Amino acid sequence: MHKILLSSLILLLSLNLSAQNKQDSLKKGARPKIGLVLSGGGAKGFAHIGVLKVLEELNMPIDYIAGTSMGSIIGAFYAMGYSATEIEKLVLSQDWETLLSDKISRKYIHVKDKINLDRYVISFPIKPTGIRIPAGIVQGQNIINLFEKNTIEFHNKTDFRKFPIPFVCIATDLETGEAVVLDKGNISQALRASMAIPTIFTPTEIDGRLLADGGMVNNFPVEEVIKMGADIVIGVDVQTGPKEKEELHSIEDIINQTISLMAKKEFEKNRKLCDIYIKPNIKKYSTADFQKADSLIYLGEKKATEQIRTLQQLIEKYKLSQTQNQNYPIVSDSSQFFIDQIQINGLKHVRKSTLLGKLNLETRNWISIKEIQKGINRAYGSKYFDKISFQLLGGNEKTLVIDVKERRTNRFNIGMHYDDDNKASVLLNTTFQNKIQDGSSLSLDLKLSENPRFTATYNLDNGLKPGYQFKLDLNDSEVFEFQDGKKIASYDLKYLKLDANIHSTFRESYSIGFGGKMELYRVSSKLSIPFVEQSDEDYFFTYYSFINMDSHERAYYPKRGFSLYGEYKLITNNGSSLDGNNRPASVAYLKAQKAISLSQRLTVYPKFYGRIIWGKAIPEVFLTYTGGLDQTNYFDIQVPFVGLRRMELASKNSFVFRTDIQFELFKNNYLVLKPNIGKVVDNVNTALTKGRWVKGVGLTYSYNSLVGPMEVTLSLSDLEQKVRGFINLGYWF
């Protein structure tokens, strides 16, 4: 209690002294120092830019800046020398949906991980004490990338009070609940801490303190700018303030309400200390309206213009004029720096050579910002790290300092899916990093459904240097036999596969390799007939080589990019031959897809699927089965075909040509026309002259939701001339 009283007394005395100094300086006729305070408010903070534009037009000098959350970001950039117009351009050029997530371009994701990138709805870290809810939804990798690129000229300047305009920002110590004034250190980390909204962004550790959004304790830091020496304070407030209970409808509302209530008392005190108080009329906007930046900037400018007479009177009274030079040397992607050495901090389990290989940067060389950030994105896309940041320190010859936070927490992931073929299913996945060998991953999949599956994969990737993979796959599925378009039989197909391969990866998007499998198949009829053997069981040993490429910018509804998977396989049942023949059977498979964007909304997506078999006595489990919309890799014997039921036509060879015509009606809503034509034949030597042509078409309406595509498809083929419906909900897995 004594400590609290003492702290309050000291604060009161300091404010009285500041007020006295202010009066003394004004009496002496010295130019008063102008302090600018920018409140937090999420996206509503863009209104600060509009106010700054008006202050610049008036040539109003700003001597000190203090800010919280979004106010700290706008304030810091202005304090470093960015003009209001330059900040506006920076804000309007961002893809905020991507920026406020940890998503990076798929081109930086390893080709083996791309198939797993869009499978899970929920992901939790696994600690030694069990599964835990993460400290925040977003780590903030993309935000850090943005800050570091645009503050390069200040990486060496660790005292924020020595910026062209002295600057401080506010964060909250999550352990003590105290407001923390950040005025030194790494400016990118300070801004990241000040804006870390609890539960949305993970907190940031600085000097041993775990920091989050300063708005929880001081969202309008007027006192701080007075302590810095401001005689006159211009305060810009973009807070909505506490809402009535009838207005609290969402999680966002509750979080904002909590922050407003916590900082309400402090705000009311700070509000009274402002000499000029500017509050833009942005009540109808939310803290998440990042896509409405232009409107918010306009409203800030409008409100400041309404007070232009008051501001002009202040300028005229004290003969104010702007003395600082708002001229920050803008850094572009092509800006180059001479890198003398690379210093890496934070590595414990991941090998330094692995990280340097991902960065792919040569020292004693000129390197562009684009090359540095591409290297960081490749390293982040490896899944070895939760966060990667950089600084360029030194004079003409820079030291590139890379700070990493290793992803030591393992993950528990959940996926959910429904479609008319596989019915409802849930995917439970556990992924362990750096088990047995550093840089490796162990992934365990359990699919719970009418057709259950278990997969265990252990993988070590070394880039160009060969890596390896071991895989166990267990599957139990119901498959059907068709004749003349009618279902005539049902079978239970079980298989066990043990797979090992060696592979190399090029530029994250290309992989080649070879390997071998031991495969056990058991096929039994769904009808039980007494005294009749209903089960066939076969062992096979197969050898294969593959090439895998994927440069699509996204897995679902891509607008650009190319993907290809090709495989050649030799089938034996004793390691060298098949069923007593001197030669094994062969299978060749190719899938190729290319997205071609014709306009912002229209994309043409041609696809080709081909599978051919040659050899004698081909087992039925290796025949080619054409039909279905499945995008899974459960059966490498299936060739999709729109208009046919799943695995409806059995043959040795199948070729399917398909073109999806994809039109985005409005954001994340698609209408896709899917015409295809295919040929199924039983003799590889007559594939182009004989066999059966099949035609089909489908029309899909889809909403690409947060949990995956929600699709309804109507399809038709010339096999039956019957319209069939198909429903798919969620990510395929």
Are residues 542 and 481 part of one domain? yes
Per-residue pLDDT, 128: 66
Closest CA to 511 of 543, 471, 465, 446: 465
Number of residues that make up the chain: 733
Inter-residue contact 67 to 74 (CB < 8 Å)? yes
DSSP assignment letter at 628: B
Place of tokens 């698609």: 670
Instruction: Give dist(CA 432, CA 456) in Å, integer.
Output: 11
Domain boundary among 406, 422, 438: 406
For this structure, is 213 an active site residue?
yes
Whether residue 609 has pLDDT greater than 90: yes
Inter-residue contact 425 to 418 (CB < 8 Å)? yes
Q: Which residue in 18, 69, 563, 715 is the catalytic one?
A: 69
Are residues 350 and 279 part of one domain? no
Give the residue, 422 or 562, on which the prediction is more confident. Answer: 562
CATH number at residue 453: 2.40.160.50
Place of tokens 């290796």: 622
| Residue 487 forms part of a structural domain | yes
Instruction: Write the pLDDT tens digit of every residue in 227-278.
Output: 999 999 999 999 876 556 555 556 556 666 666 666 677 788 888 999 999 9
Are residues 354 and 311 part of one domain? no
Are residues 385 and 372 part of one domain? yes
Whether residue 690 has pLDDT greater than 50: yes
| Residue 645 forms part of a structural domain | yes
Per-residue pLDDT, 426: 95
Are residues 717 and 606 part of one domain? yes
For this structure, is 69 an active site residue?
yes
CATH number at residue 53: 3.40.1090.10
Per-residue pLDDT, 525: 78
Q: Which residues of 684-710 are buried (b: 16+ CB within 10 A; e: fewer)?
A: eeebeeebeebebbbbbebebeeebbb
Instruction: Give dist(CA 315, CA 307) in Å, integer.
Output: 13
Q: Which two tokens stand for residue 522?
A: 């058991």
pLDDT tier, 11 (very low <50, low <70, confident <90, very high otherwise):
very low
Per-residue pLDDT, 254: 62
| Residue 222 forms part of a structural domain | yes
Q: Please report which helix (H) or strand (E) contains residue 73, including its range.
A: helix 70-80
Instruction: Give dist(CA 420, CA 701) in Å, integer.
Output: 16
Place of tokens 């197909």: 493
Per-residue pLDDT, 485: 77
Instruction: Give dist(CA 721, CA 44) in Å, integer.
Output: 56
Domain boundary among 390, 406, 422: 406
Instruction: Write the pLDDT tens digit of every residue in 407-442.
Output: 866 889 999 999 998 889 999 999 988 777 777 889
Highest mean pLDDT among 332-336, 610-614, 670-674: 670-674
Are residues 62 and 190 part of one domain? yes
DSSP line for 568-603: EEEEESSSS-STT-SS-EEEEEEEEEEEEESSSSEE
Mean pLDDT of 43-67: 95
Are residues 634 and 559 part of one domain? yes
User: Alpha carbon 241 to chain centroid distance?
Assistant: 31
Are residues 610 and 501 part of one domain? yes
Are residues 356 and 311 part of one domain? no
| Residue 210 forms part of a structural domain | yes
Closest CA to 383 of 202, 116, 707: 116
Are residues 678 and 583 part of one domain? yes
Whether residue 667 has pLDDT greater than 60: yes
Strand, coil or helix: 274: coil
Inter-residue contact 471 to 457 (CB < 8 Å)? yes
Instruction: Give dist(CA 189, CA 394) in Å, integer.
Output: 19
Per-residue pLDDT, 351: 82
Mean pLDDT of 125-154: 81
pLDDT tier, 12 (very low <50, low <70, confident <90, very high otherwise):
very low
Q: Which residue in 213, 237, 419, 660 is the catalytic one?
A: 213
Instruction: Write the pLDDT tens digit of every residue in 456-478.
Output: 999 988 777 898 999 999 999 98
Q: How many domains does the chain have?
A: 3
Mean pLDDT, rounded, of the chain? 87
Are residues 567 and 495 part of one domain? yes
Q: Of 107-116, 280-289, 463-472, 593-602, which range is least confident?
A: 107-116
Whether residue 532 has pLDDT greater than 50: no
Per-residue pLDDT, 353: 84
Q: Of 21-30, 395-404, 455-464, 580-589, which range is least confident?
A: 21-30
Give the residue, 22 or 631, on which the prediction is more confident. Answer: 631
CATH number at residue 369: 3.10.20.310
Are residues 503 and 528 part of one domain? yes
Q: Which two tokens stand for residue 216?
A: 């929880």
Q: What is the pTM of this model?
A: 0.80
| Residue 196 forms part of a structural domain | yes
Residue type, position 242, single letter: P
Per DSSP, which regions of 202-285 are E strands?
204-206, 209-213, 232-236, 276-278
Instruction: Write the pLDDT tens digit of every residue in 321-365.
Output: 876 556 777 788 889 999 999 999 999 888 888 888 889 899 999
Domain that holds residue 655: 410-730
Domain boundary among 265, 291, 318: 318
| Residue 384 forms part of a structural domain | yes
Inter-residue contact 657 to 680 (CB < 8 Å)? no
Inter-residue contact 171 to 180 (CB < 8 Å)? yes
| Residue 28 forms part of a structural domain | no
Instruction: Give dist(CA 34, CA 53) in Å, integer.
Output: 16
Q: Please report which helix (H) or strand (E) contains residue 503, including its range.
A: strand 486-506
| Residue 534 forms part of a structural domain | yes
Give the Å distances, CA to CA, from 441 to 113, 134, 372, 444. Answer: 11, 20, 26, 10
Instruction: Give dist(CA 643, CA 718) in Å, integer.
Output: 8
